[in-house]
Amino acid sequence: MKHVKNLIVGAGFSGATLANKIATELNEEVVIIDAKNHIGGNCYDYYDHNGICIHQYGTHIFHTNLKNVWDFVSQFTKWNPYMHAVKGLIDGQLVPIPFNLNSIHQVFPKSIADKLETKLIDTFGFNVKVPILKLRGTGDKDLEFLADYIYEKIFLHYTLKQWGMKPEDLDPAVTGRVPVYISRDDRYFQDKYQGIPLQGYTKVIEKMLNHPNIKVHLDTKFETIKNDITYDRLFYTGPIDEFFDYELGELPYRSLKFDFVEFDKPYFQSGACINYPNNYDFTRIGEYKYFLDDKSDKTVVSFEYPQSFKRWENERYYPIVKDENGELYAKYLEKAKALPNVYFLGRLGDYKYYDMDKAINRALELFETLKG
């Protein structure tokens, strides 16, 4: 039976960050395994025959306010300073998402738009995000009208597609986060640091793992080797319920199916991401040339179809935020705490919808605890 100092399951950002820190700062050996045939997890990208960098698991935009995370990742890449903007097809027009003052002036007649803008600024101020539940609680019929419009046009039908359930069946906090942005800022994120790695995400993780103390094994499932390997420490970024053989039940997820289509023209749409809350069965279309300004006479887009997660059939993407799911995860976490030198992290290990920066920060924080 083989023995290793540190075994890491999962070669996405969580596992790669931890592997790099252990190898470089503790000077310890690390074996990292992944069931996929590539590193990078769901951030994996590649250049196709057109020279376009394709994100295999859907559009990924790096954004953070965490300087420590930005500085850490910047060791492994230069950046294309990219500010993400999303538009949604609302009443036949492509309007900025989240819904903001520009959106209001696009979809409403001038007299209504001017009145709504004045009331929003007078009530809440400028350059702030206000959840639609707060608009509904003002007692002002115009702001309640706006809240209902955004709920219906932006949130309701998108939620039905994305989550396969009505908004009221989700955690109320999900509905509460739907904002109107009292601003002219069309960016989807307002984080201080935003960009796309200049050579793609896979290259970043490849450089993270390029260390003599790190050995990578792909096409390797933990369950197939767990009886043939021992370790001083195990870091598991896979599904926590799978680790325990679903002993307490299965944690539910939503999945996605991507339909990639190549078009024989320079561009297909006006931006990298267009949302379709009310039309079609897909939720959005991503166009990849925009991220790194790839030059080609052709373009590639992905149509994104949410679907139920089914074991062995598709990928886990989004934990489903509901009280009973959180309670089930908490029970698995209690079991995990009883295991010495076994650590769970990442989207699947923590059962949280981490953005990339939060997953990296979680790994950095865990490493600091290891250092003592």
CA-based end-to-end distance of the chain: 29
**Would the pLDDT of 24 be above 70?**
yes
Give dist(CA 310, CA 254) in Å, integer: 9
Helix 201-208 and helix 13-25: axis angle, to 10°? 30
pLDDT score of 75? 98
**Would the pLDDT of 28 be above 90?**
yes
Identity at 18, one-letter amino acid code: L
pLDDT, the chain, mean: 95
Identity at 304, one-letter amino acid code: E
pLDDT score of 177? 61
- Calculate what percentage of the chain has a pLDDT beyond 90: 88
Instruction: Give me the mean pLDDT over the 30-52 stretch.
Output: 97
DSSP state of 229: E
Q: Do 52 and 296 touch, CB atoms closer than 8 A?
A: yes
pLDDT score of 207? 98
**Would the pLDDT of 246 be above 90?**
yes
Strands 99-100 and 179-182: parallel
As a CATH number, domain 2-80+197-248+320-371 is 3.40.50.720
What six digits make up the tokens of 266? Answer: 């320079």
**Would the pLDDT of 306 be above 90?**
yes
Q: Do 180 and 146 touch, CB atoms closer than 8 A?
A: yes
For the chain, domain boundaries: 2-80+197-248+320-371, 86-182
pLDDT score of 81? 97
Give dist(CA 234, CA 76) in Å, integer: 25
Strands 179-182 and 128-131: antiparallel
Instruction: Give me the mean pLDDT over the 239-263 stretch.
Output: 97
pLDDT in tens, 144-202: 999 999 989 998 899 899 988 877 777 766 665 678 999 999 999 999 999 999 999 99
**Would the pLDDT of 233 be above 80?**
yes
What six digits make up the tokens of 249? Answer: 């039940």
**Residue, of 224 and 168, whose pLDDT is higher:** 224
pLDDT in tens, 96-151: 999 999 999 999 999 999 999 999 999 999 999 998 888 888 899 999 999 999 98
